[in-house]
């Protein structure tokens, strides 16, 4: 039977909602599911993780060194924790994508990235060519399978479990070459882009960070997260953690509104799982209209404020 170690993610002391999606992937693989949480005080997150449906145990790995999330510090500890497990699963977030490769390298295995479906404990679907093709891969079971989970492909498990919570420690030698200096994060009251049910995104057409305010304004009226195309990010209109797409975030909201975004394949790779796509573009030939459920051929500088006014 598979024994699966899910590496939980903690944001601001709370369990990041990505963890419940990774547990859903673990359930699809089938087997015993243990969630490991690293930090200096993970009590609240552990209590939450213990309620996730399907989790049999939660391991708290609390040390002062784990206070700040550093892949270089976490990886050797996870490698030690992974002993005896058949799978080590990470969320497909910046945290998971940063840490998983170090763990696979130390274990000497090839990482399976972006699991979309688990057909068996060793056979997985994953996207390739910017999500334009799906490949089924067979991963060697030994010594362990290290994988990241494509969050847009899984629905978070609900609460209902009551797993045991245990403290764990490792004797892993921590690196001295990497140290935490500071964290500069955007503080926002808006929903998290990767977890949001509604997202309003703007593209190059906005023209400036000042003009981008109409996207924020519509999003706030709708209680939506804000996203952007890479062109909008590269032009400096918005910070890069808002980028949606192949090299940005892969999202699966119920509603995605794309304003002034052409619909390049690299952008579409990030929104393939969105339930309803609305496109506002002044060019009726823009490729985004090929995948949009609702299309509005209009100037966004008129249409977006008008839409907001009607809400
Ligand atoms: P444009 O393609 O310039 O489109 C702007 C659109 O706005 C046009 O369709 C235009 O008709 C419309 N428009 C202009 N004015 C108005 C107006 N007033 N009202 C309404 N509509 C208007 N891109 C991503 O988004 N995410 C990624 O993760 C990503 N990763 C990439 C990775 C690689 C390896 C490469 C090579 C590219 C990647 N790109 C990514 C870039 C991608 O190819 C496109 O260049 C980018 O998505 C274009 O952004 P855009 O649609 O905002 O800009």
Query: SS3 sequence, 177-206?
Result: CCCCCCCCCCCCCCCCCCCCCEEEEECHHH
Considering the domain 198-309, what is its CATH architecture? 3-Layer(aba) Sandwich (3.40)
* Nearest CA, atom 44, ligand 1: 264
Q: Is the pLDDT of residue 225 over 80?
A: yes
Topology of domain 3-167, per CATH? Rossmann fold (3.40.50)
Cα→Cα distances 309→8, 152, 222, 242, 302, Å: 41, 31, 11, 25, 11
Number of the ligand 1 atom closest to the C-alpha atom of 299: 19
Q: Which of 193, 202, 204, 270 to mutate to test the pocket of ligand 1 (most atoms within 8 A of CB)?
A: 204
Nearest CA to ligand 1 atom 11: 283
Does the CB atom of residue 290 touch ligand 1 within 6 A? no
Residue 293 in contact with ligand 1 by CB distance below 6 A? no
Contact 15, 42 (CB under 8 A): no
- pLDDT tens, position by position, 105-120: 999 999 999 999 999 9
| β-pairing verdict for 225-228 and 198-202 | parallel
DSSP lists the bridge partners of residue 279 as 258, 295
Residue 37: count of CB within 10 angstroms of its CB: 25
pLDDT band at 294 (very low <50, low <70, confident <90, very high): very high
pLDDT for 241 equals 92
Which two structure tokens, joined as six digits, stand for 124?
């997985």
Strand order in the sheet with 87-91: 112-115, 145-149, 87-91, 3-7, 32-39, 57-62, 164-167
Residue 280: C-alpha distances to residues 3, 56, 309 (Å)? 47, 47, 16
18 Cβ closer than 6 Å to some ligand 1 atom: no
- Rounded Cα gap, residues 67 and 180, in angstroms: 10
- The mean pLDDT of 127-134, rounded to a whole number, is 88
- Can you give the pLDDT at residue 74? 98
Three-state DSSP class for residue 293: coil
Q: For residue 12, what pLDDT is reported? A: 87
Residue 187: band (very low, low, confident or very high) from pLDDT cuts 50, 70, 90: confident
In this structure, the strands spanning 276-281 and 255-259 are: parallel
For 201-219, how does the pLDDT look when each residue is reduced to its tens digit (9 = 90+)?
999 999 999 999 999 999 9
Ligand 1: does its nearest atom lie under 6 Å from the Cβ of 282?
A: yes
**Of 265, 291, 292, 268, nearest to 278 (Cα)?**
292
Which residue from 238, 252, 237 is spatially nearest to 186, judged by alpha carbons?
238
* Same fold yes or no, 3-167 and 198-309: yes
Phi, psi angle pair for 180, to nearest 5°: -80, 130
295, β-bridge pairs: 279
pLDDT given at position 260: 98
Under 8 Å between Cβ of 18 and 41: no
Nearest to 69 by CA among 97, 88, 48: 97
Kind and range of the H or E run holding 66: none
CA gap 281, 299 in Å, rounded: 7
* Residue pLDDT, tens place only, 67-108: 999 999 999 999 999 999 999 999 999 999 999 999 999 999
Sign of CA dihedral 27, 29, 30, 34: negative
Per-residue pLDDT reduced to its tens digit, 250-280: 999 999 999 999 999 999 999 999 999 999 9
Position 185 pLDDT exceeds 80: no
Each domain of the chain, given as residue ranges in start order, spans: 3-167, 198-309
CA 76 – CA 94 distance, rounded (Å): 18
Q: Is the CB of 230 within 6 Å of ligand 1?
A: yes
The alpha helices in the chain, defined as continuous H runs, are 18-29, 43-50, 71-81, 94-107, 213-222, 230-234, 265-268, 288-291, 300-310
pTM of the model: 0.87
User: Binning pLDDT at 50, 70 and 90, where does residue 129 land?
Assistant: confident
Report the alpha-carbon distance of residue 88 to residue 147 in Å, rounded. Answer: 6
Mean pLDDT of the chain: 95
Question: Ligand 1 pocket test: which of 261, 274, 284 has the largest number of ligand atoms within 8 Å of its C-beta?
Answer: 261
Cis bond upstream, residue 176 (ω within 30): no
């Amino acid at each position: 039977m598979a024994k699966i170690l899910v590496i939980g993610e903690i944001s601001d002391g709370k369990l990041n909602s990505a963890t419940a999606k990774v547990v859903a992937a673990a359930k699809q693989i089938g087997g015993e599911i243990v969630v490991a949480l690293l930090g200096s005080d993970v009590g609240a997150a552990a209590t939450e993780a213990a309620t996730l449906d399907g989790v049999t145990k939660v391991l708290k790995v609390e040390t002062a060194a784990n206070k700040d999330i550093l892949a270089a510090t976490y990886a050797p500890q996870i490698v030690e924790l992974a002993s005896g497990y058949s799978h080590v699963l990470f969320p497909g977030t910046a945290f998971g994508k940063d840490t998983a490769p170090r763990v696979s390298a130390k274990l000497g295995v090839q990482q399976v990235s972006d699991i979309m479906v688990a057909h068996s404990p060793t056979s997985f679907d994953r996207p390739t060519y910017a999500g334009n093709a799906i490949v089924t891969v067979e991963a060697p079971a030994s010594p362990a399978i290290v994988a990241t989970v494509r969050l847009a492909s899984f629905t978070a498990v609900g609460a209902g479990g009551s797993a045991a919570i245990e403290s764990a420690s490792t004797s892993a030698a921590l690196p001295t070459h990497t140290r935490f200096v500071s964290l500069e994060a955007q503080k926002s009251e808006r929903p998290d882009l990767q977890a949001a049910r509604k997202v309003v995104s703007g593209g190059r057409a906005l023209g400036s960070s000042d003009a981008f305010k109409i996207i924020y304004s519509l999003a706030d009226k709708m209680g939506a997260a804000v996203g952007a195309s890479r062109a909008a990010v590269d032009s400096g209109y918005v910070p890069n953690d808002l980028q949606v797409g192949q090299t940005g975030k892969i999202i699966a909201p119920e509603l995605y509104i794309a304003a002034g975004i052409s619909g390049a394949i690299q952008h579409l790779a990030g929104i393939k799982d969105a339930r309803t796509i609305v496109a506002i573009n002044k060019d009726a030939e823009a490729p985004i209209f090929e995948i949009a459920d609702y299309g509005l051929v209009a100037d966004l500088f008129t249409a977006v404020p008008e839409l907001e006014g009607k809400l």
